Chains A and B, each alone.
Chain A
Amino acid sequence: MLILGCGNPDRADDAAGLLVAQRLRELGIDAREHGGDMLGLMDEWGADDEVILVDAVVSAGKPGTITTWDARTAALPPDCFPCSTHALGVAEAVELARALNRLPRSLMVYGIEAGNFEPGGAPSPEVWNAVERLAQDLAAASPKPLVTVPADPPNTV
């Protein structure tokens, strides 16, 4: 199992994926951080890998809401994943991998709803809370596909 956390450490809630990877390592689970160029994502995995990808998302949900997609069975919603500058975001990178027949054997994508991308800002309590819950879930068990977990109230980390 390969776990990849994506994001930008300097843009508040956009750090969510990176924080999950860091927390998993603290819990003794191997996880990598992937920042910067998302085009490099498909070089991280092989065809036979089972991959979990975690990133911040922007949809209509409340900050801290965790949404899961099985990227092997359906395209990721392109408008939910923040784009990196002058390059492709996670959704485009995954769809490019699909077009090039370079998806791994399984690819589960966990999105943590972000509410704040302030440059230099700290992640919100809701996102910190979601990071902890997702890291604990991933550490405790194999991923539970296609579930949506409501966000906890703020300041309950």
Chain B
Amino acid sequence: MSDTGHKSRTITVDCLARVEGEGALFVKLKGDKVTDVKLKIFEPPRLFEAFLRGRHFSEAPDIAARICGICPIAYQMSAVHAMERALGVAIDPAVRMLRRLFYCGEWIESHALHIFLLHAPDFLGYPDAIQMARDHRELVETGLRLKKIGNRIVSLMGGREIHPVSACVGGFYKVPAEQDLRALVEDLKWALEASVKTTRVVAGLDFPDFQQDYEFVSLCHPEEYPLNEGRLVSNKGLDIDVAEYEDHFVEQHMKHSNALHSVLRGRGSYLVGPLARYNLNFAHLPDVAQQAARDSHLALPCRNPFQSIVVRAVELVFACAEALRIIDSYTRPELPHVEIAVHAGVGSAATEAPRGILYHRYSIDDRGLIRFAKIVPPTSQNQRRIEEDLWHFVSQVASRPTDEVTWKCEQAVRNYDPCISCATHFLRLQIERE
């Protein structure tokens, strides 16, 4: 018999910290049975798609980047690739590798922030990273140093840490010299080693026994762990060109959320992000990252969302190794970007933001002005899945004391590192027991 019996209980957490954005989580219980779950996002619509209409195609990367302070590169990359598809632009192979390096910087800073400062406190029993730092100083210092190295890459490639300004349709406004990149090598070697150790450390955390039959969706590239390019593939038969995205994925307005829910047409929820990428692209991880996963006894496929913290650590290993590989083979391109011949066109692209697929589609006229813009961020795509996880997970833990259920719910939401500002800023949690 639980401590709750069949009585009603209402639990309200005014502010679920350590997620980005403003929203609320509502969980209704009758006894120990879950009767309703709603991820309510009340952040007002931010209307970026409307802001983009009428602007010149060349402005899209910098306007879209303003959607998010932690993954602006993802927005820039999806925008430049979509515009390049609309305009039939082929970029220099060296520029293509620089874009991967740029993205590695964002993955390193974003994953380090989430692993060490946002998610680890859940597992180690602290309300936040500040309390955790008093007892786990080395862990937090490692996270801060890793994040700083990611910031350094972004700053070097993009001109500044937040909302970088160098990416453009056709390449970059400015590309680094070989010696500029070589200056990152020693830091990245340390970061690679620290990431491998981190994978072992986080793999030893205590994970709830919770697995779901997800449809994982990510980009898949024939030769690379996905960042900028690939087909959209799932573990349940989806295999499409990005141009077909809207034939298969639909956005639905839900009364309780200002962010649209994305679902797979006729199939429902799906999961994007580290778990999906890892499960669908393990073969393309570098040996050092594969070995880190094996040494951590990380399952393949991994269906436990709480272990996303381990997968993020494996992806940290990947991002550091990939950055080193790119720097080692880098020769500065003759031109930082190609010239663009403007004409009317439609182009779509998806790239892998740290939290998952970020889809953009643009239609431009013969003057290069944007007539239509559609942006589907990863948190919108994971919203339905987060709710479904909670339906099942809360059922497992409902008999426990209310404070513990509340804590576990917050932790389950943070498995997804949700960025609500992207999807439309604090998440408030309310559990109501009937």
When distances are taken between beta carbons in the complex, the residues of chain A under 8 Å from B162 are 35-37
B321 in contact (CB, < 8 A): no
B421 in contact (CB, < 8 A): yes
B69 near A95 with CB under 8 A, answer no
Beta-carbon nearest neighbor of A78 in chain B: B130
A87 near B133 with CB under 8 A, answer no
A87 near B70 with CB under 8 A, answer yes
When distances are taken between beta carbons in the complex, the residues of chain B under 8 Å from A48 are none
B148 near A96 with CB under 8 A, answer no
Main secondary structure of the interface of B (DSSP, over half): helix
User: How many B residues are at the interface, by size bracket?
Assistant: 20 to 34
A100 in contact (CB, < 8 A): yes
Instruction: Give, as a whole number of angstroms, the nearest-CB distance from B136 to chain A.
Output: 10
Quick check: which of B137-145, B190-198, B246-254, B370-378 contacts chain A, the rest being far away? Answer: B137-145
Beta-carbon nearest neighbor of B134 in chain A: A99
Beta-carbon nearest neighbor of B140 in chain A: A100
When distances are taken between beta carbons in the complex, the residues of chain B under 8 Å from A99 are 130-131, 133-134, 137, 140
A85 near B130 with CB under 8 A, answer no
A84 in contact (CB, < 8 A): yes
Instruction: Give, as a whole number of angstroms, the nearest-CB distance from A87 to chain B.
Output: 7
A95 CA / B69 CA spacing, docked (Å): 22
A40 near B148 with CB under 8 A, answer yes
Beta-carbon nearest neighbor of A102 in chain B: B141
Instruction: Give, as a whole number of angstroms, the nearest-CB distance from B63 to chain A.
Output: 13
B288 in contact (CB, < 8 A): no
B133 near A96 with CB under 8 A, answer yes
When distances are taken between beta carbons in the complex, the residues of chain A under 8 Å from B133 are 96, 99-100
Instruction: Give, as a whole number of angstroms, the nearest-CB distance from A66 to chain B.
Output: 26
Partner of A39, one of B131, B137, B147: B147
Instruction: Give, as a whole number of angstroms, the nearest-CB distance from B252 to chain A.
Output: 26
When distances are taken between beta carbons in the complex, the residues of chain B under 8 Å from A85 are 20, 68-70, 421, 425
Beta-carbon nearest neighbor of B426 in chain A: A83
Partner of A86, one of B20, B129, B131, B141: B20
Main secondary structure of the interface of A (DSSP, over half): loop
A95 near B113 with CB under 8 A, answer no
Beta-carbon nearest neighbor of B71 in chain A: A86
B69 near A87 with CB under 8 A, answer yes
Partner of A96, one of B113, B130, B419, B421: B130
B411 in contact (CB, < 8 A): no
> Number of residues in A with C-beta < 8 Å to the partner?
18
A92 near B113 with CB under 8 A, answer no
Partner of A37, one of B68, B140, B151: B151
- Interface positions, chain A 34-57, Cβ under 8 Å from B, are 35-37, 39-40, 42-43
Instruction: Give, as a whole number of angstroms, the nearest-CB distance from A69 to chain B.
Output: 17
Partner of B113, one of A35, A42, A87, A100: A87
- Interface positions, chain B 368-420, Cβ under 8 Å from A, are 419
Instruction: Give, as a whole number of angstroms, the nearest-CB distance from B425 to chain A.
Output: 8
When distances are taken between beta carbons in the complex, the residues of chain B under 8 Å from A39 are 113, 117, 144, 147-148
A92 CA / B144 CA spacing, docked (Å): 14
When distances are taken between beta carbons in the complex, the residues of chain B under 8 Å from A37 are 147, 151, 161-162
When distances are taken between beta carbons in the complex, the residues of chain B under 8 Å from A43 are 148
Residue-by-residue, is A64-106 near B (CB-CB < 8 Å gives 1, otherwise 0)? 0000000000000000000011111000100110011100000
Instruction: Give, as a whole number of angstroms, the nearest-CB distance from A90 to chain B.
Output: 13
When distances are taken between beta carbons in the complex, the residues of chain B under 8 Å from A35 are 162
B294 in contact (CB, < 8 A): no
A100 near B141 with CB under 8 A, answer yes
B160 in contact (CB, < 8 A): yes
- Assuming the contacts A35-B162, A85-B68, asked whether A100 and B421 have C-beta atoms less than 8 A apart, the reply is no
Partner of B160, one of A36, A42, A95, A100: A36
When distances are taken between beta carbons in the complex, the residues of chain A under 8 Å from B113 are 39, 86-87
A92 CA / B148 CA spacing, docked (Å): 17
Beta-carbon nearest neighbor of A37 in chain B: B161
Instruction: Give, as a whole number of angstroms, the nearest-CB distance from B353 to chain A.
Output: 12
B144 near A86 with CB under 8 A, answer no
B69 near A86 with CB under 8 A, answer yes
A95 near B130 with CB under 8 A, answer yes
Beta-carbon nearest neighbor of A35 in chain B: B162
B70 near A86 with CB under 8 A, answer yes
Beta-carbon nearest neighbor of A43 in chain B: B148
B151 near A40 with CB under 8 A, answer yes
- A87-B113, A99-B133 are known contacts; what are 19 more A-B pairs with Cβ within 8 Å? A36-B160, A36-B162, A37-B161, A37-B162, A39-B113, A39-B117, A39-B144, A40-B148, A43-B148, A85-B69, A86-B20, A86-B421, A87-B70, A88-B117, A92-B130, A95-B130, A96-B130, A96-B140, A100-B140
Question: Hey, which bits of chain B sit against chain A, CB under 8 A?
Answer: 20, 68-70, 113, 117, 128-131, 133-134, 137, 140-141, 144, 147-148, 151, 160-162, 419, 421, 425
5 A-B pairs with the lowest CB-CB distances in the bound complex, closest first: A85-B69, A99-B133, A86-B20, A36-B162, A86-B70
Question: Hey, which bits of chain A sit against chain B, CB under 8 A?
Answer: 35-37, 39-40, 42-43, 84-88, 92, 95-96, 99-101
A–B Cβ pairs within 8 angstroms, 6 of them = A43-B148, A85-B70, A85-B425, A86-B20, A86-B113, A87-B70
